[in-house]
Structure 1
Amino acid sequence: MIVDTHTHMVSDAYLDLLRAEGGPKYTFRTLPGGGEVIDKDGVPFFTLLPPMWDFDRRIKDMDAAGVDLAVISLTSPNAIFADLDLSRRAARMMNDAFAEARTAYPDRLRWFAALPWTDPEAAVAELARAVDMGASGVIAVATVDGAPLTDPAYAPIWQAIDASGLPVFLHPSVPPGEAALGLGDYNLSPPVGFVFDTTLAISRMLYDGFFDRYANLRMILAHGGGTLPFLIGRLDVCHANIPACRAGTPRPPSEFLDRLYLDGVVFTGGALDLCIETVGADRMLFGSDYPHNIGDMAGRLALLDSRDVPHRQTARALFGL
């Protein structure tokens, strides 16, 4: 069984909701060549493509690439909005849609639950509802409307996730400070901003004592873990030599690598080799980033299968398939 763990879908109803109530932070505009893109504070990050809401086409594309099962998730901005009611409605809407999709394609689809993180009490309740509906995991966006996931306000959510036993998919968005970073230039958010967002989030967790507190948590990092494979040695050295880096936990970051999985959404053999060296071949998962414009089921699968990576067995064990 080949399982795609990094692949997204949306619904027409979700896009309608985002159009009507997502502004001024999230806005839609027409591209010069046709089609639409969603901007966050003026920075483009989400090009809308028809396969994103066409489940029949998804299944055909999976068949063509030889993918047996997809664990679908709602990409950024997910259900994370300053308006708490909007967050609650978006999460409920998409979890219902994904549960219905699994019912329609029971042998081909599973799903990560979206949570209204800006309303922790509602997020805990929505997690329980999603578990009852058959969610296979939870997606967490790297920052919650600018706040880090390690903020104490989100502890009740993490406690509930930890108790549920569901794996977490850590996915980036446009990082905070996008204007100061100039991420609007050359559309730098997808190639650079996203991996920075993931890297900052997981580095903070590794220094914070996060994985000490949530002892059962297993986390999948998008895009090969951002730049974590390149930086893990530096994180350890800084933990050993900079007191502030070890204030949250006495354990160096590398001791928590057995809690992490990396998807194979990288684009060179050298990058994949570094991922494998960092977490081990048995912690690598297949991911395609389909149907985004850089998503590629066949290409990412071919690269992963060019190495001795038991991603099929790993996915089956992680998701209880």
Structure 2
Amino acid sequence: MTTPVVDVHTHVYPPAYMDLLRSRSSVPYVRTFPPDTSSSRLIILPGEDDPSRPSTARGRPVGPAYYDIKEKIAFMDAHKIDISVISLANPWLDFLSADEAGPAAQRINDDMNAVCAQNAPGRLYAFGALPLSASTEVVVAEIARLKQLPYMRGIIMGTSGLGSGLDDPALDPIYAALQAQRLLVFLHPHYGLPVSVYGPRAGDYGHVLPLALGFPLETTVAVTRMLLSGVWDRFPDLQVLLAHSGGTLPFLAGRIESCIAHDAHLMKKQANSGDANKAPRRRRSVWDVLSKNVYLDAVVYSEIGLRAAIEASGADRVMFGTDHPFFPPLEEGETEWLSVRTNYQAIHAAVGREQDLAEGVLGGNAIRVLGLKHA
């Protein structure tokens, strides 16, 4: 392997962010639960704070891997990762008040940039977090400021946007600013699906249903709404990296496109859009957007899923990721993470015979797209 391995999906909760979570008493927050008061648990998903749940089913244990950058570097070394593009994990800054969000974003983004600068040159870069609950002017100003921070390579955003989804017209000035600054949007799920869809016994199955099904479907719904509302028609150069290989989007893209083509309401709406003296606006296809505006991480854990991602967006638009520090080994004494090994195996199974494609997915694509430099 001559090309550096780059992890584009890896999270850090900086100390200032951990302090914020520890100061809170409602989701999101960090606290201990009896009988085990020796370790803290991170509660970030709706419903995780249900007191009827066993303490071990409420959130997840949060240790140094979440916030100590030395742990991140050790993880990278153990798994032969040369560069990591770190990002704040969900729920980012979405829960803050308008007055708090702007200063918090500046403080945390500066901390992330400083962490990258303080470590070995070329090992760490970052995606910034936006103060989406603040005014549009504050958000746009932070986007411009992020562009000036030397280690920032884009932003991470959840599917709620300003609170009404990613098809909200109020996001247009923010999309315009991101497009103008050529900052990649790393789109990551957080809210999943309503707990009721999993049925009355969902609590018996830990986090499997919301993480395995809820997160990917949340992403699929959010991006489909962006497509339907014409986000990429208005912002044809807006580039988005989708977590977890785009959820189910690569598999369902054909069905989405077919349903759009056969929907009389949408057809009439499109015919009536635009200037009466001009031809109706021609909508870009799902396939066109997938191949020109969407990048997919390789956090899908299977050859079949990765092949779907590659077929949908192209091998030159898929990038390796680990989702560290989530999905750690459960057996005591394990040092190699099963989740990471599975991703490596899926990449080599899908494109391993074509060395140039494998090197692209493992690092070359990220280096090219994000302008990374490895010492």
Contact preservation (8 Å) 2:299, 2:321: yes
8 Å CA contact 1:3–1:286 kept in 2: the answer is yes
CA contact (8 A) 2:41 2:59 kept: no
Q: In the alignment, does 2:222 pair up with 1:219?
A: no
Map of 2:11 onto structure 1: 8
Residues 91-130 of structure 1: CA deviation (Å, up to 9, x unaligned):
2222011110111123100000100112222111111111
Partner of 2:275: none
Corresponding letter in the other structure for 1:251: R
Q: Secondary structure at the match of 1:10?
A: coil
Q: Does 1:26 align with 2:28?
A: yes
Q: Give the aligned partner of residue 132 of structure 2.
A: 117
Q: Secondary structure of 2:326's match?
A: coil
1:276 corresponds to: 310
- Residues 76 and 173 in structure 1, CA contact (< 8 A), matched pair in contact too: yes
How big is each residue's C-alpha offset from its partner over 1:41-96, in whole Å with a ceiling of 9 and x where there is no partner? 43356652321111112112111211111111111110112511232233222201
Q: Any conservation in 1 of the 2:46–2:191 contact (CA below 8 Å)?
A: no
**Counterpart for residue 287 of structure 1:** 321
Distance 1:244 1:255, change over 3 A: farther
**Aligned Cα RMSD in Å?**
2.3
Give yes or no for the alignment of 1:138 onto 2:155.
yes
Whichever residue aligns with residue 311 of structure 2, its letter is E
- Show the counterpart of 2:114: 100
Query: What is the aligned residue count?
Result: 319
* Distance in 1, Cα, partners of 2:266 & 2:65: 43
Instruction: Quote the Cα distance in structure 2 between the aligned partners of 1:75 and 1:151.
Output: 23
Structure with greater Cα Rg: 2
- Normalising by the residue count of structure 2, what TM-score does the alignment of the two structures yield? 0.79
Q: Which runs of 5+ in 2 are unaligned?
A: 49-57, 271-281, 329-336, 352-356
| TM value normalised by structure 1 | 0.91
1:36 deviation in Å? 0.7
| Alpha-carbon distance, 1:19 to partner | 3.0
Secondary structure of the residue that 2:350 maps to in structure 1? coil
Contact (CA 8 Å) 2:233, 2:283: kept in 1 or not?
A: no
Name the amino acid aligned to 2:43. Answer: I
Q: Displacement, 1:160?
A: 0.5
Tell me which residue corresponds to 1:50. 64
List alignment gaps of at least 5 residues for structure 1.
Answer: none
C-alpha distance in 2 between matches for 1:117 and 1:306: 40
Aligned twin of 2:175: 158
CA distance in 2 between counterparts of 1:174 and 1:90 reads 22
Alignment of 1:193 onto 2:177:
no
| Separation (CA, whole Å) in 1 of partners of 2:60 and 2:137 | 29
Report how far residue 179 of structure 1 moved.
4.2
Q: Is the 8 A contact 1:49 1:292 kept in 2?
A: no
CA distance in structure 2 between the partners assigned to 1:123 and 1:164 by the alignment: 13
Contact 1:225–1:262 under 8 Å retained in 2: yes
259-268 or 46-55, larger mean C-alpha shift: 46-55
The structural deviation recorded for 1:275 is 1.4
Moved more, 184-193 or 221-230: 184-193
Q: Which of 115, 126, 141 is matched with 2:142 structurally? A: 126
Letter in 1 for 2:290: L
